Amino acid sequence: MAAVPDPAGVDAGRADAQGYAADWARAVRRLGFVPFSAAETERLLLVHTIRLAQAVRAEPFTAGPAEEVGRALVEAHLTEPQTLDWTLHALGAAFPRQVLGVGDRPPDLADRIASVQGGLAAGFARALRDRTFSQQERIARSAWQARDEVEQALRNSEARFRAVFTGAAIGIGIAGVDGRIIDVNQAFADMLGYSIEELRGTNVAALFHADDAAGMWELYRELTEGKQDAARVEKRYHRKDGSVVWTDLAVSLIRQDGRPRFTVAMIEDITQRYELQQRLRFQALHDPLTGLPNRTLFFETLGRVLDTAGAGQRVGVCFLDLDGFKAINDSLGHDLGDRLLVMIARRLAACVADRGHLVARMGGDEFVILVDEGDDIDDAVAVAEAALAAVAAPVHVGNHQLAVSASVGIVQCPAAETTASELMKAADTTLYWAKGAGRGRWAVYDPERSARDIARSALVAGLPAALDRGEFVLHYQPIVSLLEGSMLAVEALVRWEHPELGLIGPDRFIGLAEETGLIVQLGEWVLRRACHDAEQWRREFPEAKLVVSVNLAARQADDPAIVDTVADALLTTGLPAELLQLELTESAVMGSAGEPLRSLHRLAALGVRLAVDDFGTGYSNLAYLRRLPIHCLKLAGPFVEGIRADGSDVEADHRDERIVDALVRLAHALELWVTAEAVETGVQAERLRALRCDTGQGRYFGAPAPAETITARLRGREVTQ
């Protein structure tokens, strides 16, 4: 970019050269691109304005300075044609009047202005022409240089390609679009066992492996038709000696004038790598001990079967687990256990070999058989029975002869209605059903039973939170005097107000609470709540002296803290000890070894009444029973239910009545109070009264109800349930 001269110190005369330069600068910037700022443009044109004014006044006159100004405009890149037009027009119109003073105007001013216009235009044109010639010369030189460089690069590229083609360690082959090989390098020929001359002219299809020929020719056709420009695959080729070589093949399409002309293939021998991959894959998908397919391969196969199954096709699994394998491992050692697993695996594979079923080891002593061709459950059952028979045959391992059995869970269903995870979850559940039924058995999946198990598990999981959230409530069932008909006591019965299932009876969750150990915490809550309600009744109805009876589970009775818990409940609520009765089962009372529980005497010492619940269904030692601080026996419901008097079974009716009579006499002989449970009818109540039974409990006297119902009954009225 040309430098902008500094006009400082130049005498512009009396005329307005500065204004003319400003107008010139604005016009130039308006008419085209100017590589200067506005101030720089005005300063540059002010210099040229002054030079032109000096040239017009100069003696002798010459148009040379005007030519220099024209050339300077081109050098400053002010080359727009409209810029030149404006400049020449302004020289003729505004320049004399605006720049030249009256006294500075020579007599031949018009001729001089015309000469200045011509000189400026000539200088502008010659400078523009010179610049154009210079640019054309540079372009020509660059074009020749580029052509030389391209030719040299092409020669270098060809030399490099030939060097790479000849000396490359991987095979390189060039073929036409018709598949005929044009040339190959030595590595290509050596890889396939041919000479270079033998391969030239050969069609590439002749080298394809028979199993891959269709796919390879399809791939090659897509390349030659220009549908793809490159492809990379792992493929097999036939060597000249008939052996197979695995290769990593990369093929590229070469075009000329946009049309496919050649293909260049680069192949690398990966036979050793492929064989290693196959060995690693086998190891990854097979059990290292037994050689059977492992869990991963089983699920891959099962998933493929489910994905490709046709309409109506069924699929099943037999999930097998050895019975008592841990005992064999622990007693005879893991080495012998491993040898046993190997023999069992071989037997399982052999027993279904003719059926083509997949046998896999899932881990430990668990095996699974995939039955993907059965029409109904009988086919899967037949496979399970064959597997159990194979396992049950005597096994000789070292110096030991072992008798082994297994349990099998069987699941079969339409393939379209299940997934791999659902199928195996059902099989696992069914396997545990089979184990629970005994050794050497199979069980078939039952959706309804599974739903019950799931519901049961949901209840188990919800028990702790339910207790924390206060979802448990107490209902009370009256215990009535058979002689007078008055309510002497109530039995506290816990219920679960489930947020989704509604009110749940104890038969659905007490057993679960005992299994999980939550029964101790739940039992303590029941005890404290029952004592609280009983104390409320005592305060409002002191003359009733209503006893509240609370059941103690066996685990509660075994708890060393039970006496302290009962004592604290009585102290906290203020309930007198004689108004609390604790009910224990016969097994809890007698203890695991037939010895009375030590806690019973301490509880009796508190003044609490003790009762044996469901008496007659256990194994009470009467000699011990008479030495225990028991106050009441509650006759088991089945004995009372037998006293029906409906004529259906007179002999059984009399037999049950004699049993109840004997039990009542026995209890009275031991100075114990007797309560009959499950009294449903007036006839039963009357016959129990005749047998001198003390109290009765059952729906005839009132169903279990909330505490408010008992309160209403104590007030002398009933509340409709």
Residue 455 has pLDDT above 70, yes or no: no
- Return phi, psi of residue 474, to 5°: -110, 135
Higher local confidence (pLDDT), 271 or 214: 271
Given the structure tokens 């910037």, which residue do they identify?
A: 29
pLDDT of residue 203: 82
Do 383 and 318 contact (CB within 8 A), yes or no?
yes
Average pLDDT over residues 423-438: 89
Nearest-CA neighbor of 170 among 157, 183, 189?
Answer: 189
Q: How far apart are the first and last CA of the chain?
A: 108
Residue 645 has pLDDT above 70, yes or no: no
User: What percentage of the chain carries pLDDT values higher than 70?
Assistant: 91
Higher local confidence (pLDDT), 148 or 49: 49
Measured between alpha carbons, how far is 364 from 321 in angstroms, rounded to an integer?
9
Q: Which runs of E-coded beta strand occur in 243-289?
A: 244-256, 259-269
Do 436 and 421 contact (CB within 8 A), yes or no?
no
pLDDT of residue 704: 95
The H or E element containing residue 338 is helix 334-351
Across the chain, mean pLDDT equals: 84
Do 526 and 492 contact (CB within 8 A), yes or no?
yes
Q: Report residue 14's pLDDT band, with 50, 70 and 90 as the boundaries.
A: very low
Higher local confidence (pLDDT), 164 or 614: 614
> Which DSSP string corresponds to 20-50?
HHHHHHHHHHHHS--SS-HHHHHHHHHHHHH
Q: Which tens digits make up the pLDDT trace of 217-242? A: 677 777 777 777 787 878 888 888 88
Spell out a b/e string for 694-703, using b for 16 or more CB atoms within 10 Å of the CB, else e.
bbbbbebbbe
Four-point Cα dihedral 452, 456, 458, 463, nearest 10: 160
pLDDT of residue 623: 63
Spell out a b/e string for 368-393, using b for 16 or more CB atoms within 10 Å of the CB, else e.
bbbbbebeebebbbebbebbbebbee
Maximum mean pLDDT: which of 6-15, 31-40, 61-70, 705-714 = 705-714
Q: How far is CA 391 from the centre of its chain?
A: 37
Residue 462 has pLDDT above 90, yes or no: no
Q: Which tens digits make up the pLDDT trace of 468-501? A: 888 899 999 999 999 999 999 999 999 989 888 8
Segment 441-450 long-range contacts (CB within 8 Å, at least 24 positions apart)? 441/407, 441/408, 442/318, 442/381, 442/384, 442/385, 442/388, 442/407, 442/408, 442/409, 442/410, 443/407, 443/408, 443/409, 443/410, 444/377, 444/381, 444/410, 444/411, 445/409, 445/410, 445/411, 445/412, 450/426
Q: What angle do CA 677, 683, 688 make, to 5 degrees?
A: 50
pLDDT of residue 214: 62
Average pLDDT over residues 355-370: 91
Measured between alpha carbons, how far is 631 from 613 in angstroms, rounded to an integer?
11
Please list the alpha-helical segments (H only) found in 64-206.
64-75, 81-93, 95-99, 109-167, 186-192, 196-199
Nearest-CA neighbor of 253 among 176, 155, 162, 156?
Answer: 176
Single-letter residue type at 243: S
Strand order in the sheet with 406-414: 358-363, 366-371, 314-322, 406-414, 442-444
Measured between alpha carbons, how far is 304 from 298 in angstroms, rounded to an integer?
10
Do 372 and 412 contact (CB within 8 A), yes or no?
no
* SS3 of residue 174 by DSSP: strand
pLDDT of residue 8: 43
Average pLDDT over residues 699-721: 83
Looking at the whole model, is its pTM more than 0.75?
no
Single-letter residue type at 396: H
Higher local confidence (pLDDT), 262 or 350: 350
Do 173 and 264 contact (CB within 8 A), yes or no?
yes
Q: Report residue 648's pLDDT band, with 50, 70 and 90 as the boundaries.
A: low
Measured between alpha carbons, how far is 577 from 159 in angstroms, rounded to an integer?
112
Maximum mean pLDDT: which of 29-33, 210-214, 277-281, 468-472 = 468-472
What is the Cα gyration radius of the chain?
A: 55
Measured between alpha carbons, how far is 591 from 449 in angstroms, rounded to an integer?
34
Nearest-CA neighbor of 49 among 81, 84, 90?
Answer: 90
Residue 274 has pLDDT above 90, yes or no: no
Measured between alpha carbons, how far is 124 from 118 in angstroms, rounded to an integer?
10
Higher local confidence (pLDDT), 269 or 524: 524
User: What percentage of the chain carries pLDDT values higher than 90?
Assistant: 28
Residue 420 has a CB neighbour count (10 Å cut-off) of 19
Q: Which tens digits make up the pLDDT trace of 100-156? A: 877 778 888 888 888 888 888 888 888 888 888 888 888 888 888 888 777 887 777
Q: Which tens digits make up the pLDDT trace of 400-416? A: 888 888 999 999 888 88
The H or E element containing residue 581 is strand 580-585
Residue 608 has a CB neighbour count (10 Å cut-off) of 23
Pairing of strands 487-498, 502-504: antiparallel
Do 667 and 673 contact (CB within 8 A), yes or no?
yes
pLDDT of residue 649: 54
pLDDT of residue 149: 79
Residue 158 has pLDDT above 50, yes or no: yes
Residue 169 has pLDDT above 60, yes or no: yes
Residue 516 has pLDDT above 70, yes or no: yes
